């Protein structure tokens, strides 16, 4: 049985989620200790416990230690997931996006399935729904992994209550895309979103400030999308995403609104993140850099390719942690991170 130290690297929920996902894919049992040891509230919190129970449900896993605040867990998967509709409710504003990414690979690499996920959809410290739809999924589609998501209701902090639907077919064709050097934005999109109980002028001010900041840098957005959406808690967001001229690479940058934070600042901050990324002249932004390590690893071992590499705007603890963890489940893979933490660098995924 694999023994995983949950305090390694970023020491948060990522170590647990990646271990669960890969354990189900390969049928490898594991024990994880020191779960979320580096966090203010260590151990399993509601969103992590939902991930554990969801992975256990789809794989018929035996569990030990699956309770709130537990810092140790034994997970023994018993079967491959079957194609059906699964419903999981986090019951807090915990991230549905992170739950989706945890379940994506076990379902895609078996018979596929449909997910109904309830919880947070636009919350801090996780990719919002729009990032999944417009950045993450289109990029992994270039690897042959296809999935569709739709948003029925937004979930902002603190109540959550959002609902997303995901349809995941079996992953049948594995390929590795060709990334052009750097990132040359061909199309830029502004999405300004607010809950329907907030005044429309917030929506417009967010979008206007984002557009003005882009135009100052001679970057013309192709489209501005203004969305009002149902939610239990009030919330706002600006999401900037861009498609590279190679038609494969995408980047996305999020700023969530909050009480006392001017709408103009929300728009400006989202654009500022985009501009900072462009200055690095790298291919992949820091969040996607660690999120695509798993699907690229699968594409390499299934496609008999020897390696794949890309540059990233920032080497994060999340990236270093994934590079350490994935090869423990996928023995054929070696992941090298060239550069210093906090700086831009290069990621190399190699077949041993």
65-121 pLDDT per residue, tens: 999 999 999 999 999 999 999 999 999 999 999 999 999 999 999 999 999 999 999
Centre a 10 Å sphere on the Cβ of residue 301 and count the other Cβ atoms it contains. 16
Report percent pLDDT > 90 for the chain. 97
Closest of 305, 315, 313, 308 to residue 337, by C-alpha = 315
Q: Residue range 223-244: average pLDDT?
A: 97
Query: In terms of pTM, does the model score above 0.75?
Result: yes
User: Residues of CATH 3.30.360.20 domain(s) within the chain?
Assistant: 185-280
Cα 143 from Cα 177, distance rounded (Å) = 6
Q: Label residue 303 by pLDDT band (50, 70, 90).
A: confident
Cα 231 from Cα 224, distance rounded (Å) = 22
**pLDDT for the residue numbered 38:** 83
Per the annotation, the verdict on 318 as an active-site residue is yes
Say if residue 171 is preceded by a cis peptide, omega within 30 of 0. no
Q: Label residue 304 by pLDDT band (50, 70, 90).
A: confident
| Listed range (38-42, 63-67, 199-203) with the worst mean pLDDT | 38-42
Whether the per-residue pLDDT at 305 is higher than 80: the answer is no
Task: Catalytic residue, from 48, 122, 130, 318: name it.
Answer: 318
**pLDDT for the residue numbered 229:** 96
Q: Residue range 320-348: average pLDDT?
A: 98
What is the assigned CATH class of domain 185-280?
A: alpha beta
| Listed range (19-28, 47-56, 295-304, 307-316) with the worst mean pLDDT | 295-304
Cα 183 from Cα 277, distance rounded (Å) = 9
- Specify the CATH number for 80-173; select among 3.40.190.10, 3.10.350.10, 3.65.10.20, 3.20.20.410: 3.65.10.20
Report percent pLDDT > 70 for the chain. 100
| Listed range (7-11, 53-57, 158-162, 268-272) with the worst mean pLDDT | 7-11
Whether the per-residue pLDDT at 327 is higher than 90: the answer is yes
Q: Residue range 16-43: average pLDDT?
A: 96
CATH topology for the 1-79 domain:
Translation Initiation Factor IF3 (3.30.110)
Q: Residue range 310-326: average pLDDT?
A: 98
Whether the per-residue pLDDT at 170 is higher than 80: the answer is yes
């Amino acid at each position: 049985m694999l023994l995983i130290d949950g305090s390694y690297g970023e020491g948060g929920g990522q170590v647990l989620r990646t271990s669960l996902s890969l354990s189900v894919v390969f049928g490898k049992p594991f024990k994880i200790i020191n779960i979320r040891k580096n966090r203010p509230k260590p151990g399993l919190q509601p969103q992590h416990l939902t991930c554990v129970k969801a992975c256990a449900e789809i794989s018929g896993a035996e569990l030990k230690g699956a309770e709130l605040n537990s810092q140790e867990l034994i997970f023994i998967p018993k079967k491959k997931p079957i194609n059906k509709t699964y419903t999981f409710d986090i019951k807090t504003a915990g991230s549905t996006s992170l739950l989706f990414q945890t379940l994506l690979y076990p379902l895609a690499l078996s018979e596929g399935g449909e997910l109904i996920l309830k919880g947070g959809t636009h919350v801090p410290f996780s990719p919002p729904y729009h990032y999944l739809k417009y950045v993450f999924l289109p990029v992994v589609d270039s690897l042959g992994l296809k999935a569709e998501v739709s948003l029925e209701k937004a979930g902002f902090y603190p109540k959550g209550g959002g609902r997303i639907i995901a349809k995941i077919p079996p992953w049948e064709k594995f390929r590795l895309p060709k990334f052009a050097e750097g990132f040359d934005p061909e199309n830029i999109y502004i999405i300004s979103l607010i809950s329907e109980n907030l005044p429309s002028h917030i929506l417009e001010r967010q979008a206007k400030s984002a557009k003005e900041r882009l135009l100052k840098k001679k970057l013309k957005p192709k489209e501005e999308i203004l969305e009002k959406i149902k939610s239990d808690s009030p919330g706002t967001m600006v999401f900037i995403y861009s498609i590279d001229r190679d038609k494969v690479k995408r980047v996305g940058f999020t700023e969530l609104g909050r009480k006392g934070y001017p709408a103009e600042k929300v728009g400006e901050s989202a654009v500022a993140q985009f501009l900072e990324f462009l200055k690095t002249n790298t291919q992949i932004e820091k969040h996607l850099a660690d999120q695509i390590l798993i699907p690229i690893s699968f594409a390499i071992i299934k496609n008999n390719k020897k390696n794949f590499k890309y540059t990233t705007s920032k080497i994060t603890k999340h990236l270093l942690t994934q590079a350490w963890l994935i090869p423990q489940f996928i023995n054929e893979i070696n992941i090298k991170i060239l550069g210093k933490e906090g700086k831009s660098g290069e990621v190399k995924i190699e077949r041993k």
